Structure 1
Amino acid sequence: MTDASTPTSAPPAHRGRVLVVDDQRNMRTTTALVLRTEGYTVSEAATGQEALDLLTSNSVDVLLTDLKMEPMDGLTLLKKALEVVPRLQVIMMTAFGSIDSAVEAMRLGAYDYITKPFKDGVLRHRVELALERARLMSQVDLLSDEFNQRHNLTALVGGSSAMRELKNRLLRVAQSDATVLIQGESGTGKELVARSLHTHSRRSGKPFVPVNCAAISESLLESELFGHAKGAFTGAVKARRGLFEEADGGTLFIDEVTETSPAFQSKLLRALQDGEVRRVGESTSVRVDVRIVAATNRDIETEVREKRFRQDLYYRLNVVTLRVPPLRERLEDVHDLARHFLERANARNLRPRRLSGSAVAHLMDYTFPGNVRELENLVEQAAALAESDELMPEDFPLRPQAQVAHSAGDLASMGSSGAPIMTLAEVVDEAEKRAILQSMERNQKDLARVADELGVSSTTLWRKMKRFRGLDAGPGSDSQGK
């Protein structure tokens, strides 16, 4: 380390804000001096609580903290600091370079770690890399916001890779008149995707007309879509145009199309093939120019194989497919979604609620079987009932993960072997956890190699390690030391 008494030249221009935390005064001040001579704006703290106070009142890009301190150790500070500043880049300083402490710190969200004693050049290099990551993350957020605003995709909240892929594919297909089939679980936002398709199409100046096939009885669905003549059936006191005609020139969104009967599917197929509809009770057809966007929450290929959905209609609808990912596949979007829903609730309730970091972490540990709709309901409930303006984990009562399979009126809770039934989300989680454990064993817990082998980013790997239990198990997994 550079001697604290060594004279230095005038520091270069401001390069970033660093907070150095160490209960050993000499180590803290010397480390801070090295960084100041490089042009960093440096704050110092002797305790974890002092550091948290500084984070609350000051803007910080990188937190450089000792691991073993009293009364609050570095890992505890790490967790609390990320609750205050979720995008904070944290570098742990430890006297032991064991992989165990590094894995634990990474699992909790640290960016990097550095082993004492370290050379000035190593320190500067690690801090610069952390600042570069902070700048890149800010740039990604900015570009994501600009992209959404430029293309009017603000309703599709989320910057995860799955959502970026969906938005890019949506923009490519929107300009054509191709029929689109949107697939996704209930509550994922399929209608929002359909509306965005319409907004970016050449038909945007014409009507967007939605119909939910599951919400209309079979006897009324034909009249609802195709219209009817006066006197066509009891209650038809006057002629009425159907939704196909209402959507003429625009987009007709047929939601839950797999809920229809084969007889109705045959009539729908004829309308799509001919570009004409015939009102119930009439003998002549009416030409219509509509773009069809259909959606389903079922596995439509299984429906076709089991003869519940017409194969020819499936091919007619499945020209282009858009898959809306479930929330459990994009948990990194939970924070942005929760903040979006809370802002809407605040505007309605005229009360400035805010999310705590611990509440966000609590939500990200959940798999959301009800997807985005469930998250929206949770946020609205918390905004209405919480006693404090800062929403805490206890304001979000989540269903126990193990009980998901038994909710919503499920009658069977046990399989034929007597073992509890697992939800699909639980099966996926267990498979991912097992794959990570096996890869860690093969790669001697080298996280970079594990991430590369599994084909995920280091950030995704750390997040999964944080969510799953037992990933740091094994000999030497205790992360004590400094």
Structure 2
Amino acid sequence: MSGRVLLVDDDPSMVELLQARLTRRGFTVTALTDPQAALPLVRQEPFDVVLTDLNMQGLSGTELCERVVANLPDLPVVVVTAFGSMETAVAAIRAGAYDFITKPVEMDALVHTLTRAVQHHQLKGEVVRLTKVVADSQRLGGLLGSSPAMLKVYDLLTRVADSDATVIIHGESGTGKELVARALHDKSRRASGPFVAVNCAAMPEALLESELFGHARGAFTDAKAARAGLFAQAHGGTLLLDEVGEMPLGLQPKLLRALQERRARPVGGDHEVPFDVRVVAATHRDLEGMVEENRFREDLFYRLNVVQMELPPLRARGGTACCSPSTSSSTSPRAPTSG
């Protein structure tokens, strides 16, 4: 069992013996012979358990235990005493000790006690971490759910939100892929910029190309004025390519070039327009399978698949809904999304 142990005993020979034996059992042991130095050290370093002798000069094990518990209540303290009386045990427990061991120390019993203490501390730390993840999830754009699968989503979302890495979100229809994309945007440094979404399955190839890249005046019938595409509209923010697996093969090379060059040429235009956009893609399709079947470009898949996020189906979210019913959809009324 691994774990970080702070060993406190004013008897150097006992410290040397216990440190050697516990190290052989897999623990990482820091030893002190001055109990006064223990409290500053546990504030600075992440120990899993404190193992302290009871009778020491300057500061008793009971007093040290009380101070550790007062400052770090989740850090277990195991007290070692030569006096195995009930009064001694009660005094140690009242001081907040996790457990006590009597001298002469039986190593198997000590290792068992320290292992339980380390597991107790690590479990408490995990509870704190997961509690924070759940609390953070309440601010993630209306996403709900507390199952292990959703906790992984919240954790990954929080870790990657502030980067510019392209994210591809996989999930069944209705699992809240657009909500996750919005949460990535809202928690990023681009939050003050626009969030724009387009459903790649909702329009034919020519119209989708015009939506993404814009068009020049006169580029086609009824193009009476130039119009900026969604890449340009999302400049400084985030662009969601929803249902990207439905993008026509003929349009995929132009999308790939735009992502590589960070520039887009409007339909019928003579010049490319630079953009600064964080791209998030979403799909319910198996894109890797589509690549093998030559229905999706491999180079585009790898360009999009920098960070992969799997959304669990609603049935795997502990009986909670995926999203708040009041959450709205895309900022682009011309580009409906399905999420």
TM bracket, shorter-chain basis: 0.5 to 0.7
- Are 1:144 and 1:159, in contact at CA under 8 Å, matched by a contact in 2? no
Q: Are 1:146 and 2:135 an aligned pair?
A: yes
Return the match for 1:310 from 277, 281, 297.
297
Higher relative contact order (CA 8 A, sep 6+): 2
After superposition, give the CA deviation of every residue in 1:8-65 in whole Å (9 maximum; x if it has no partner).
xxxxxxxxxxxxxxxxxxxxxxxxxxxxxxxxxxxxxxxxxxxxxxxxxxxxxxxxxx
Gaps of 5+ in 1: 1-135, 346-372, 374-482
Q: Secondary structure at the match of 1:262?
A: coil
After superposition, give the CA deviation of every residue in 1:436-469 in whole Å (9 maximum; x if it has no partner).
xxxxxxxxxxxxxxxxxxxxxxxxxxxxxxxxxx
Distance 1:233 1:227, change over 3 A: same
Q: Please name the residue that 1:475 is paired with.
A: none
Q: Please name the residue that 2:253 is paired with.
A: 266
Gaps of 5+ in 2: 1-123, 328-337
- Which amino acid in 1 is paired with 2:247? T
Q: Please name the residue that 2:243 is paired with.
A: 256
TM-score w.r.t. the length of structure 1 is: 0.40
Q: Are 1:326 and 2:316 an aligned pair?
A: no
In 1: Cα distance, 2:323 partner to 2:196 partner: 29
In 2: Cα distance, 1:264 partner to 1:302 partner: 19
Q: Are 1:171 and 2:158 an aligned pair?
A: yes
- Are 1:226 and 1:243, in contact at CA under 8 Å, matched by a contact in 2? yes
Distance 1:260 1:141, change over 3 A: closer
Q: Please name the residue that 2:223 is paired with.
A: 236
Q: Are 1:337 and 2:321 an aligned pair?
A: yes
Q: Secondary structure at the match of 2:144?
A: coil
Q: Are 1:197 and 2:184 an aligned pair?
A: yes
- Which amino acid in 2 is paired with 1:269? L
Distance 1:161 1:260, change over 3 A: same
Give the 5 Å matches for 1:470-481: none
Distance 1:337 1:141, change over 3 A: farther
In 2: Cα distance, 1:194 partner to 1:166 partner: 12
- Which amino acid in 2 is paired with 1:193? V
Q: Please name the residue that 1:297 is paired with.
A: 284
Distance 1:273 1:338, change over 3 A: closer
Give the 5 Å matches for 1:390-405: none
Q: Offset of 1:339 from its aligned partner? A: 11
Distance 1:140 1:200, change over 3 A: closer
- Which amino acid in 2 is paired with 1:301? E
In 1: Cα distance, 2:266 partner to 2:207 partner: 12
- Are 1:229 and 1:282, in contact at CA under 8 Å, matched by a contact in 2? yes
After superposition, give the CA deviation of every residue in 1:249-308 in whole Å (9 maximum; x if it has no partner).
110100011111211001000100111001111111111111110011101100000000
Give aligned-pair identity as a percent: 55
Q: Offset of 1:140 from its aligned partner? A: 9.8
In 2: Cα distance, 1:202 partner to 1:340 partner: 24
Distance 1:141 1:265, change over 3 A: closer
Report the structure, 1 or 2, having the larger helix content.
Answer: 1
After superposition, give the CA deviation of every residue in 1:383-408 in whole Å (9 maximum; x if it has no partner).
xxxxxxxxxxxxxxxxxxxxxxxxxx
After superposition, give the CA deviation of every residue in 1:216-261 in whole Å (9 maximum; x if it has no partner).
1212000000000111000111110000000001101000111112
Distance 1:141 1:266, change over 3 A: closer
Distance 1:302 1:339, change over 3 A: closer
Q: Please name the residue that 2:168 is paired with.
A: 181
- Which amino acid in 2 is paired with 1:187? G
